[in-house]
A and B are shown apart, each in its own frame.
Chain A
């Protein structure tokens, strides 16, 4: 059974935890493990491509979520990924969710990794879009500013799509799809919130003195990594590093594409993510079952 709502029509709801009201939207196939979508820097719930969320909603419940201080959500946007992750957990507990699959894009993919690391029992499968590991390559985003979206269309076309005609055309279609939700649009991300998010991704991107990728081996959940081969925001070597260090990850890299590769190649992306979520054979069993089969 599927809720009658779509990405375009689902009302924004609120749930409270520890005195903070979180804004969210929930639709899709009831009785499934929900997909929790965590968005990119300076984005709100309206930033998700309705084609992607509606398509995945045919098989899964979909939950879009504004972290603390973003859009209509209360509280203050934290300036670390770790603190943002705590809000995610509080939000999930307030909704009574026992298990979720996480789809994290860029900053959302960083939170997704932290969530999987700290709360592996809460997360089933991870889908990491255009993101990188803690302390990855070129991830301190020195050129990014909180005013980045003064001209959002120009920003998205330049950062999410490659300069090729095909990619730019896909970008314009994506941007027009973002307009298809007419009512109950989300509130814009405030400057204070963007400043805090920027601090958080810079802290995440700082290269530690020792054990650079050491935490990745503890994220044993089945993971799908999707990246554009010319991502100018999170450079593509980061996706390769994730695939090499995560114990159970499949990497798919699309051609002629940047940060929004999964929107540009969304037909292939939707096929790939559906195979992954329906348990095709692209993931190895978890480490515990490997150990037990050895014994």
Chain B
């Protein structure tokens, strides 16, 4: 099992959730709650790190899924985390899943929190990377630094990912390039890149998620009782790292890991160590 690259070979399937079908891939060892994995801003299933997914698949089923409107999933990307979470809950129920673990990166981590809030009995454990709470610090809009990278003329998606997800050190940059190579390894049955509507809707969703209410700023976090692991790099420019600390302080049962010399994609940079940490987190009694 451990030598099989399931991330590369698992076929893409489709699940109807009522009027629309979501694209997904399901692989790994059966007999444990599956871990359902969600992607970052404009990301598709292509971007999951095979080091993570293949490691987790040794112990449990792994389900990668594209949001409505992303990749080959039908419809249009919703413009709120709540509507996106409702799709994921419908997806899990349509697959007949009774208990799932969640692994969300960036926007995926926000969707994961919303799923846990809206379907608490469905969710067992939550792994959050490079993300933040609703109403977090500096989360309504991208910082000028991020916008400069995103809007850089003539840059490619991989080039932008390197600058957005990794630190400036040669070590971090090299790790970023290795990650890009890993996610390009799957040649067949790839998802098409996200259409422009996805980014537009996700920016609206981020603004709603990041809006700071007049009272009870982090009140929702107290309701997420599931055991949670929060991971980030010490210099995340997309979702400022202080948000990972806030998540850990406010969630009732969370542990936090911050990696050195890294940013939003610290889990790609410290990929094997993170994969082992994640495997231990999901496996622990």
- CB within 8 A of B260: which of A240, A250, A253? A250
- Looking at A96-104, A114-122, A281-289, the stretch in contact with chain B turns out to be A281-289
A236 close to B273 (CB less than 8 A):
no
Residue of B nearest to A261 (CB): B255
A280 close to B255 (CB less than 8 A):
no
Residue A229, interface by CB 8 Å: yes
Q: How far in angstroms is the closest Cβ of chain B from A117?
A: 18
Residue A146, interface by CB 8 Å: no
Residue A169, interface by CB 8 Å: no
Q: Which residues of B contact A (CB under 8 A)?
A: 169-172, 234, 241-242, 245, 248-249, 252-261, 270, 272-273, 280
A281 close to B273 (CB less than 8 A):
yes
Known contacts A254-B255, A255-B255: A229-B248 contact under CB 8 Å: yes
Closest 4 CB pairs of A and B: A284-B261, A253-B256, A251-B258, A293-B170
Q: How far in angstroms is the closest Cβ of chain B from A235?
A: 10
B171 close to A252 (CB less than 8 A):
no
Contacts of B245 in A (CB 8 A): 237, 240
Residue of A nearest to B261 (CB): A284
B257 close to A244 (CB less than 8 A):
no
* Interface 1/0 per residue, A201-234 and B, CB below 8 Å: 0000000000000000000000000000100000
Inter-chain CB contacts under 8 Å: number: 68
Listed A/B pairs (22) with beta-carbon separation below 8 Å: A229-B249, A236-B249, A244-B234, A246-B260, A247-B260, A249-B234, A250-B257, A251-B234, A251-B256, A251-B257, A251-B258, A252-B255, A253-B255, A255-B254, A256-B253, A281-B270, A281-B272, A282-B270, A282-B273, A283-B260, A290-B170, A293-B171
Interface of A is mostly: mixed
The complex places the Cα of A79 from the Cα of B39 at a distance, in Å, of 53
The complex places the Cα of A251 from the Cα of B249 at a distance, in Å, of 14
Q: Which residues of A contact B (CB under 8 A)?
A: 229, 236-237, 240, 243-244, 246-256, 268, 271, 275, 280-285, 290, 293-294
Known contacts A256-B253, A282-B273: A250-B170 contact under CB 8 Å: no
- CB within 8 A of A243: which of B234, B255, B273? B234
The complex places the Cα of A282 from the Cα of B260 at a distance, in Å, of 7
Contacts of B253 in A (CB 8 A): 255-256
Q: How far in angstroms is the closest Cβ of chain B from A26?
A: 31
Q: How far in angstroms is the closest Cβ of chain B from A199?
A: 31
- CB within 8 A of B273: which of A247, A256, A275? A275
A250 close to B259 (CB less than 8 A):
yes
Known contacts A251-B256, A252-B257, A271-B280: A284-B169 contact under CB 8 Å: yes
Q: How far in angstroms is the closest Cβ of chain B from A129?
A: 15
Residue of B nearest to A287 (CB): B169
Contacts of A283 in B (CB 8 A): 260
A253 close to B248 (CB less than 8 A):
yes
Residue of B nearest to A265 (CB): B255
Q: How far in angstroms is the closest Cβ of chain A from B177?
A: 14
Residue of B nearest to A294 (CB): B170
Contacts of B257 in A (CB 8 A): 250-253
The complex places the Cα of A37 from the Cα of B169 at a distance, in Å, of 32
Contacts of A275 in B (CB 8 A): 273
A248 close to B261 (CB less than 8 A):
yes
